[in-house]
A = this chain, B = another copy of it.
Amino acid sequence: MSKTLADIGEFGLIHRIHELIKKEGVQAPEVTLGIGDDTASFRPREGYEQLVTCDCVVEGRHYLPDFITPLDLGRRAMTMNLSDIAAMGGGPLYALVSLGLKADMPVADVKDIYRGFIMELNPFGASIIGGNITKTMDATFIDITLIGEVEQDKLMRRSTARVEDVILVTGYPGQSAAGLKLMLHSKPTKDLQKHPLVRSFNSPSHRIKEGQAVANSRLASAMIDTSDGFLGDLGHICQESGVGALLIQEQFPISEDLRQAALQLKLDPYKLFLQESDDYELIITCSPEHAAQIHSTIAAVSDMPVTEVGRTTDAAGDIQLKLPDGSQHPITSVGWDHFAK
């Protein structure tokens, strides 16, 4: 039988994780103390803002243990945090991982979760420098703090969109939500795990390189990631920037996979695009005269499509959807609200 956390104890687990990180992770010269003391320590680069974010996934709420491998779970939890750094135009440096684990969890699964973290961090030379492990009775949780950096004058914000800006979005928001719905309507089979939309949910991508290209271009007015769903996060931009938005439904990027899944699920693909979905795409606003350059800036580093889906307006906080028949309807920004009745 495979060893569990109860077999090796907390310090045994910490030792194994430490060894794994030393062997498979990256060692950054700016880290003066990594795992193993009361705190980690590092020397920041001059001229850079330090970015810091934390995001948590809880078993049953943010992922379904029967439908995701421990490796994908680790990748997904790290990607959520990488996406926050991407939204600022920055790059990741250091992660701290706080885990709540059940005593009967196999040690091999915890190691695979860490391999998932490392798989996402290594391409950037970023590393895990600290953390904390707690026993939970019920649901496993993974809480990651990610520190990143961006040049001081290139920091992107959600609060700086202007009226009459173009609204751009990367990729295909809504795919992850459709993947989740497919899982909730199915048995956890291996075939299902390979479905491209289920992959979108279990193993989403971040847009770090796209975000950095946009920040470096200095051409965008605001940026945010779509972690609360396209409409929820466009709502954040509108609220924080004091603008409104007019969206053109027929311009929404709907992938062929999403169109087919929507048919199967009897759902409107445009609603899937708008509503809460864990896709980690970027919404970018810019003046109309810069839109073409933003497109080519991103195309230089990424195959990900960038689509113009509407414009900002001076009707602060008001988001309107224009349908193919020319009619316009106000839509409410809704994102993840964990406590709503």
Instruction: Give me the interface of A with B, judged by CB distance under 8 Å.
Output: 5-11, 13, 32-33, 36-44, 46, 49-56, 58, 60-62, 83-85, 87-88, 90, 94, 96, 98, 100-101, 103, 129-139, 141, 143, 145, 147-148, 150, 152, 155, 157-159, 224-225, 227, 240, 335-341
Q: Which of A58, A85, A87 counts the most B-chain CB atoms under 10 A from its CB?
A: A58
Q: Indicate if the CB atoms of A336 and B53 lie closer than 8 Å.
A: no
How far, in angstroms, from A52 to B33 measured CA to CA in the complex? 10
Q: Which 6 A-B pairs have the closest CB atoms?
A: A38-B87, A135-B338, A138-B138, A39-B53, A145-B145, A5-B339
In Å, the complex CA distance between A158 and B36 comes to 9
Q: Across the interface, which residues of B come within 8 angstroms of A225, CB to CB?
A: 38
Q: Which of B8, B42, B148 contacts A52 (CB 8 A)?
A: B42
Contacts of A6 in B (CB 8 A): 339-341
Interchain CB contact under 8 A, A54 and B100: no
Copies in the assembly, this chain = 2
**Majority secondary structure, A binding face:** mixed
B52–A94 touching, CB < 8 Å:
yes
Known: A9-B340, A10-B336. A134 touches B39 (CB 8 A): no
User: In whole angstroms, how far apart are the Cα atoms of A37 and B134 in the complex?
Assistant: 29
Chain B residue nearest in CB terms to A97: B54
**A44 nearest CB neighbor, chain B only:** B44
Contact A9 B88 (CB under 8 A): no
On chain B, the residues within 8 Å of A83 by CB distance are 38
- The CA of A88 and the CA of B131, in the complex, are separated in Å by 16
